[in-house]
Structure 1
Amino acid sequence: MSFLTRLRLFRPTLAGATLRNQSLACLGACIGIVLSAAVGGLSALDPLHLMWIVPPMGASAVLLFVVPASPMAQPWPTIGGNVISAMIGVAFAHHMPLSALSAGLAVTCAIGAMSLLRCLHPPGGAAALVGLFAGASSSYVFPLVPVGLNAVVLVACAWLFHRLCGQNYPNRPVAAPATGIDRDRPWTFSRKDMAAALEEVGEAFDIDADDLTGLLRRVEQKALARSYNQLICADLMTHGVFSVRASDPPETARTLLVDKDVRRLPVLDDEGRIIGAIGLRELVRAATRVEELMSPASIALPDDPAFDLLDRYASRRVHTVFIVDSERRPTGVVTEADWLAILTRGLS
């Protein structure tokens, strides 16, 4: 087996994992466990307990620092899952002798309770066994100290560590940027589609539904961008732009807009360069010259990616983009209708 082949065997198994993130996860887990054990030791009644930490915290640290976006790594599942499960384990220790059956029932009830209370946390299964093995001699304080205390300190460490590293914890799903193609339109999916698909699959996924929606929307954007990344503004633009001069009276612009059935006209200076734009909306005010009513024009170069115009249409309420040369002289125009024709053609 070659050296490169061996390296491939150690590639991260998590999607999106990087060497930097995995290294930070190791460091964060180390700090979290050290502080949890130290604080637990300070709270121990026995002075010989220099460290007091329960084994499930090791598994919790993996979730909190390696996959902090997981729904099962959030503060309530981490704290509630460990405490409730440990409480169930202690309860079984008080009412049943230690046996294979009591171990199975303790874990079963812990999973059920965590599911009902929306705090499902895999290490909670181990916490239930720890409570059971603590035996009937342990009190019901055990799930709070050290189990609950360990979990609280570990979550606090995770919160501070991820904040210092610029990461998102507790997880708040980040929506994909709006670009006119990621809204609920016939050719894309909606939240109802997502819920229906998850129900049809019938399996649980360790990712928040909103995170999954945002991720798929980004994938959708990338796929559409790749499909149209060869298009430039020159490919879409209509030649023969109607225009008015800055010194023209407003009535000239109104007549041209109505007769030519266009939404906006570029306003040119004496040298033919675009200095603004005007539409019927601006013409409601009284004025003697077009330049008194014009508003900023949205422009682009012929070689600019046509895909970049979608954001202007979607979020800036731009309906017309004028294509100009290096001296800002109009050479064409791209409207929403032009892009809609391209998208419709691509989906047919």
Structure 2
Amino acid sequence: MNSDDRPVWWLACLPSMPFPERSELLMATLGGFLGIFSCALLAGLTSKLGLPSLFLVAPLGATAVLVFAVPNSPLAQPWSAVLGNTLAAICGVIAVTLASPQVAPVFAVTLAFAAMLLGRALHPPGGAVALLMGLSPDLVYDNGILGICLNISLMTLALAAAGVLFHKFSGRRYPFRTTLSQVAPTPPQRLGLDKDELTELLTKFHQTTNLGAVDLARLLVAAEEEMLHHTFEGQACGDAASSDIPVVSAKSGLREIVRRFRLSDHAVLAVTDIQGKFLGFIWHKDVLSEMEKLTRPRLLSLQVRATDILRRPDFALDSGVPLGEAITLLVQTEREFLPVTENGNFKGVLTRSGLLNLILFASKRKAAA
């Protein structure tokens, strides 16, 4: 049977996750080992030191999967993990104390769901913690109400702490960003949406437990960048660079610089060395400042050279850089223009106004097609 003829329900039963990359597989496996090892080590230390004994419980394995395999998930964050498991343990204790053995497991899980949602600490292993209490009331009786709750809380805390330390070296962020201000550039600048509006979108599509507002912002920004790449596919930033910026030699005197500014409508001049390599820009306001310092204007060309007042840029775009990437960089740096070079030689500047014209032209061309 052709794959296109398969019924929809059969496709839904196939794997929905992509095959893991080798580095992700290694990191998740190593992290899981170190996380559970940390908990086992803590349990052994408390026993040797004569402290109240701590012990491993099965739901910690599920918590380890979230913390080390999907550390960006809202369900895996320390608040969700520690508070979620602790609330679930408390609910399990309440169920065992108040309900009959037959009803306690159901009662425990139901209470845990409500408590974790109200505490904004939804953590899937918490359901297993509550069920464990309901199915094994002897755990509560043997360790005491405070003892079993403290055990679950401290062991989960140890696991989350191991996750924080491990992910400092894994290349993943844990705890994950919790504020939009930590995303650069911020979504309000890029998207015109604030955190509340992004959260409303997630709520509308019932995705608040699967995705955070920051994750959604990052996806939208990435989609925006991908759209730009498609719009200007095949075009390099050298194709869009404005080449009408006046150029002066590094040895040019202030008199020559002033003359070039008088002949130009631009607020900057590009400066190159004797081989034509780009060195930086001279700004009109800097020239005015230098002129105010001079006591003998007739000696302008002798007292100040271009190299004395130029501003060297942090970087320059190579003319071969894809235009979509260049636009993204221009937006991220929040600058009016960026220098473009070809083999180190000055090619021109990439300006916001020029890019706006390109985008409008591309939209009209697409509409006409």
TM over 0.5: yes
Secondary structure of the corresponding residue to residue 265 of structure 1 = strand
Give the paired residue count: 331
**Aligned residue in 2 for 1:296:** 312
Q: CA 1:252–1:320 in 2, change beyond 3 Å: closer, same or farther?
A: farther
Residues 76, 123 of structure 2: 8 Å contact kept:
yes
| TM-score normalised over the length of structure 2 | 0.72
Residues 53, 150 of structure 1: 8 Å contact kept:
yes
Q: Which structure is higher in helix share? A: 2
Asked if residue 78 in structure 1 is aligned to residue 94 in structure 2, the reply is no
CA distance in 1, matches of 2:350, 2:99: 77
Q: Which moved more, 1:113-122 or 1:189-198?
A: 189-198
**Of residues 144, 150, 163 in structure 1, which corresponds to 2:155?**
150
**Aligned residue in 2 for 1:21:** 24
* Structure 1 residue 152 displacement after superposition: 2.9
**Aligned residue in 2 for 1:195:** 199
Secondary structure of the corresponding residue to residue 223 of structure 1 = helix
**Of residues 107, 113, 117 in structure 2, which corresponds to 1:115?**
117
Aligned-residue identity in percent? 25
Unmatched segments (≥5 aa) in structure 1:
1-10
Q: CA 1:262–1:64 in 2, change beyond 3 Å: closer, same or farther?
A: same
CA distance in 2, matches of 1:115, 1:250: 69
1:295 is matched by which residue type in structure 2?
A: R
Per-residue deviation, residues 198-238 of structure 1 (Å, max 9, x unmatched): 23324434222212312331232233234324222442234
**Of residues 103, 106, 121 in structure 2, which corresponds to 1:104?**
106
Q: CA 1:256–1:293 in 2, change beyond 3 Å: closer, same or farther?
A: same
**Aligned residue in 1 for 2:214:** 210
CA distance in 1, matches of 2:19, 2:209: 16
Secondary structure of the corresponding residue to residue 172 of structure 2 = coil
Unmatched segments (≥5 aa) in structure 2:
1-13, 295-299, 365-369
* Structure 1 residue 275 displacement after superposition: 4.8
Q: Which moved more, 1:30-39 or 1:54-63?
A: 30-39
1:79 is matched by which residue type in structure 2?
A: V
1:208 is matched by which residue type in structure 2?
A: G
**Aligned residue in 2 for 1:3:** none
CA distance in 1, matches of 2:164, 2:74: 15
**Of residues 237, 242, 261 in structure 1, which corresponds to 2:241?**
237
Secondary structure of the corresponding residue to residue 56 of structure 2 = coil
| TM-score normalised over the length of structure 1 | 0.76
CA distance in 2, matches of 1:300, 1:38: 52
CA distance in 2, matches of 1:29, 1:111: 25
**Aligned residue in 2 for 1:5:** none
Q: Which moved more, 1:25-34 or 1:115-124?
A: 25-34
**Of residues 219, 227, 232 in structure 2, which corresponds to 1:228?**
232
1:22 is matched by which residue type in structure 2?
A: L
**Aligned residue in 2 for 1:168:** 173
Asked if residue 336 in structure 1 is aligned to residue 338 in structure 2, the reply is no
CA distance in 2, matches of 1:146, 1:299: 57
